Structure 1
Amino acid sequence: MSEELTTAELFDAIGTRYEEAFGHRPVVDAAVRELIEVLPPSARVLDIGSGTGRPAAAELAAAGHRVTGIDVSGEMLRIAREQVPGAEFVRADVREWETAPGTWDAVCAFFSFVQLSRAETEQVLGRIAGWLAPGGRFALVTVPADIEDVPIEFLGHSIRVTSFSADALADRVRAAGFEVTGTRAERFAPGKPGAEPEEHLLISARKPG
């Protein structure tokens, strides 16, 4: 394996290749459509790990919502600002970023937690619940698997990943204070030669109130 990179270094190096390989994921498209259908006009939406800004921030902003994306990669933020001028993008680590409680109508996190530890994921889920307004929506997409700190090759780079099984992750979403309103799983084949198909899981949730 090549030398392992931090999350910021990884996505700085990958840049637009990420969108080329993973830009058309059905569960992400479904999650964004679902948010657009249920959110009030001009909703405040936080996109955690916003990447290149597409499709999530782009489609939510085009639907008239006030979108803020946060990401640790300066290169991803540069691309996102260029591609989605109608949204705001901030360089930040979700484990440390602060925002006022109860001010977001929706939060989406699409493949944003796989390089966090399980304890960090649980802490971040609790932080998200605090950031959402009562009745706010949460859309989480990940690769479900009962793995912890496993080394893998990802688009030519070495990283370590952690995840939960589908049921275990849904349990942790509930434990953070959410009502799980639905789940959806699909097999996805990345648009990259040699990349293995993987399962994607969407957990849709709502903060009671």
Structure 2
Amino acid sequence: MRAGERGDTDVAHEDRRPPAAVLFNALGADYEKAFAHAPAHLSALEWLIERLPPGARTLDVGCGTGRPTAATLVAAGHEVLGVDVSPVMVALASRQVPGAEFRQADIRELPLEPGSFDGVCVFFSLLQMTRAEQSALLRRLAGALAPGGHLVLATVPADVEDLELAFMGHPVRATSFGPDAFAAVAEAAGLTVLSRHDALFTPDHPDGGPEPHLFLYCRRDTARD
């Protein structure tokens, strides 16, 4: 096979990659430029940091390039594990936030020890999962929180399933819940939704348009069976 050719095994391997890995491998640092300075995202991080104990163990689900979430948590003195399915994003994050630990993994499959985190961030990392997968993952994340721990959760609220659309010039398929239904999913997972915040944000990208964003500020109140 000549250099540059792709064999059947290469194609098959790419076909097995999660759609989110394909998308965010392509976006790379452009995603950080478009979204890293969203005011509501930064406010949610401030809210979480105010409630974390010193040197808290935190989990950043869908960590992307590590900025702003992991970088902000590390700067506040906390221990961070960032998880992303995209090897490009994990490589960027490891370079940009050397004080955190980053792991390339599918969070749906990553073992999570019960009660092992004081705080969890889930910023827009569920949208390429089915509704059943989103619900199941939130239950696992709630279980990974120590009692009294806090979780901040953000999505694009919409009553859609497997909707085909363009995101920053790339085709994607997205699934989400309406605002009340999404809050109900979080509550059913074992989280107490303390407050919610709606925002409208336009990414810094030529193909970006105004997006509705929903942030849920949550706490795990009791031990789970």
TM-score, shorter chain, exceeding 0.5: yes
Aligned pairs (5 A) from 1:9-88: 9-88=22-101
Instruction: Find the counterpart in structure 1 of residue 209 from structure 2.
Output: 196
- Note if 1:140 corresponds to 2:153: yes
Aligned pairs (5 A) from 1:145-156: 145-156=158-169
Query: 2:94·2:102 contact (CA, 8 Å) conserved in 1?
Result: yes
What's the secondary structure of 2:111's corresponding residue? coil
CA distance in 1, matches of 2:211, 2:219: 26
Moved over 2 A (4+): none
CA distance in 1, matches of 2:22, 2:193: 33
What's the secondary structure of 2:24's corresponding residue? helix
Instruction: Find the counterpart in structure 1 of residue 13 from structure 2.
Output: none
Instruction: Find the counterpart in structure 2 of residue 186 from structure 1.
Output: 199
Query: 1:27·1:201 contact (CA, 8 Å) conserved in 2?
Result: no
Query: 2:168·2:207 contact (CA, 8 Å) conserved in 1?
Result: no
Match for residue 184 of structure 2 among 171, 185, 188: 171
Aligned pairs (5 A) from 1:87-102: 87-102=100-115
Instruction: Find the counterpart in structure 2 of residue 123 from structure 1.
Output: 136
- Would you say how many aligned residue pairs link Structure 1 and Structure 2? 205
What's the secondary structure of 1:19's corresponding residue? helix
Q: In the TM superposition, what is the alpha-carbon distance from 1:94 to its structure 2 partner?
A: 1.1
TM, length-normalised to structure 1: 0.96
- Note if 1:161 corresponds to 2:166: no
Instruction: Find the counterpart in structure 2 of residue 108 from structure 1.
Output: 121
CA distance in 2, matches of 1:170, 1:141: 10
What's the secondary structure of 1:141's corresponding residue? strand
Q: In the TM superposition, what is the alpha-carbon distance from 1:122 to its structure 2 partner?
A: 0.4
Higher relative contact order (CA 8 A, sep 6+): 1
What is the percent sequence identity of the aligned residues? 51
CA distance in 2, matches of 1:97, 1:204: 24
Backbone CA RMSD of aligned residues: 0.9
CA distance in 2, matches of 1:123, 1:30: 27
Amino acid at match of 1:48: V
CA offset digits 1:85-113 (Å, max 9, x no partner): 01000011111110211110011100000
In structure 2, list runs of 5 or more residues that go unmatched: 1-17
CA distance in 1, matches of 2:19, 2:186: 26
TM, length-normalised to structure 2: 0.89
Query: 1:137·1:206 contact (CA, 8 Å) conserved in 2?
Result: yes
